[in-house]
Amino acid sequence: MKKIVFSLSILLSGVVMAQESPEVIKSKIDDLTKQKSALESQIADLNKQLPAPVVKPWTYKGNASVNLGQSLLGSNWTSSYGGNSTLNVGIQTHLEANFKKGRHSWDNSFDGTLGFFKNMNVDSGVNDNINKNADVLQISSKYLFDLKKANLKLGIGTNFLSQFIKTYDLANRDKLLSDFLAPAILDVSPGLEWTPQPYFRVFLSPSSGRFTIVTIDSIISKVNANRFGNDLDQRIRTELGARLDIVFEKEVVKNLSVRSRAQLFNNYTRPQLQIDAIGSSRANIDLNWQTDVFYKITKHIALNFGFQVLRDDDVRVTDKATGVKSAPWNWRNTIGIAFITGF
């Protein structure tokens, strides 16, 4: 009986509510709207009383990875099919220290890469020397002023590119090929940056100064040596041209991160006689493009794929087969398991 009475009361209340006139319903909506506005006003007043959050002008982030690779051949394999066992290790670091206050920002980054490999002959027991296959030292710094329009910022950037340690000719261990500050490239670039997305930015400098430095006497004093575009006994070569710096850095899908940077430079002050002497063109562009892809398996273990393409139009190499000098497309790539850490 009680259940029947309860059900009837619910039904009658629904009928009464359904019979309310539109004017009554509108009045209730107006009352609720006023209550909502009053509550929102109280919340806003309380938020004003809270202390302003402390925003630190400096932010820091970075990561480091160690890539390991191995190709181990047994004695039967090498005797039947030939080849050597190989071990390789690579170390890569990316660090940032960035300042932002109001419309001013100052971004600083450091990139370092070192890689080594060693060949081993299982049958003879003779091991080759430890050889270097990657060496990059890059420091960038950029000040920008936010124009508050079309995602544009105005400023000046500098970029320093060199290497950490000496590189010797594999065929002649006494022949030095390159070293720290031999070469080194310093770019000083006033320009404009466009940032349509937080993970993608483009910096354009129509008048970038470039200084190519070679400090090793044994390199710059030899006629037939690769002096990285510098003249004989020329320690510093100065160029003026347009520079484009494109950066993409994002976790594209969960656990898959991509960091890519392409730097392009065109020297438009190079004398025409110099261009003709090396068979070049004023439209030729120097390129340094490096990309790294990480897929995290665990917090500190990831699969790593990376490549770098490097071309300097002033660096001419003689083809051993044809004897023709040209500016080669230099490239390298790495695939391996990386042990990573970051902050």
Contact 70, 81 (CB under 8 A): no
User: What share of the chain has pLDDT > 70, as a percent?
Assistant: 90
User: Mean pLDDT throughout 114-142?
Assistant: 84
- The residue that leads in pLDDT, 184 or 18, is 184
Residue 8 in this model has a pLDDT that exceeds 70: no
Lowest mean pLDDT among 22-31, 90-99, 140-149, 188-197: 22-31
Rounded Cα distance, 96 and 142, in Å = 12
Q: Are 242 and 268 spatial neighbours (Cβ–Cβ below 8 Å)? A: yes
Label residue 198 by pLDDT band (50, 70, 90): very high
Dist. CA 324–CA 317, nearest whole Å: 8
- Provide mean pLDDT across the span 130-154: 96
Of 150 and 121, the structure prediction assigns the larger pLDDT to 150
DSSP SS3 for 17: helix
Query: 170 or 311, which is more confident?
Result: 311
What pLDDT sits at residue 166? 95
pLDDT band at 170 (very low <50, low <70, confident <90, very high): confident
DSSP letter at 123 equals T
Confidence of residue 14 (pLDDT cuts 50, 70, 90): low
Tokens found for residue 146:
């936010």
Looking at domain 58-342, which CATH architecture does it have?
Answer: Beta Barrel (2.40)
What's the whole-model pTM score? Answer: 0.83
Span 72-86, mean pLDDT? 70
Higher pLDDT, 264 or 2: 264
| pLDDT for position 4 | 55
pLDDT exceeds 60 at position 62: yes
In degrees rounded to 5, what are phi and psi of residue 197?
-140, 155
Q: CA-CA distances (angstroms) from residue 219 to 16, 135, 177, 324?
A: 99, 18, 7, 21
pLDDT value, residue 286: 96
Question: What digits encode the pLDDT tens for the residues 209-251?
Answer: 999 999 999 999 998 889 999 999 999 999 999 999 999 999 9
Q: Please, which pLDDT band fits residue 336 given cuts at 50, 70 and 90?
A: confident
How many angstroms from the chain centroid is the CA of residue 116?
Answer: 22
- Structure confidence at residue 127 (pLDDT): 62
3-state class of 281 per DSSP? coil
Q: Kindly state the average pLDDT of the residues 56-80.
A: 82
What are 296-329's pLDDT values in tens digits? Answer: 999 999 999 999 999 999 888 877 778 788 888 9
pLDDT at 120 over 80: no
Q: How confident is the model at residue 5 (pLDDT cuts 50, 70, 90)?
A: very low
When pLDDT is cut at 50, 70 and 90, the band that residue 15 belongs to is: very low
Mean per-residue pLDDT of the chain: 88
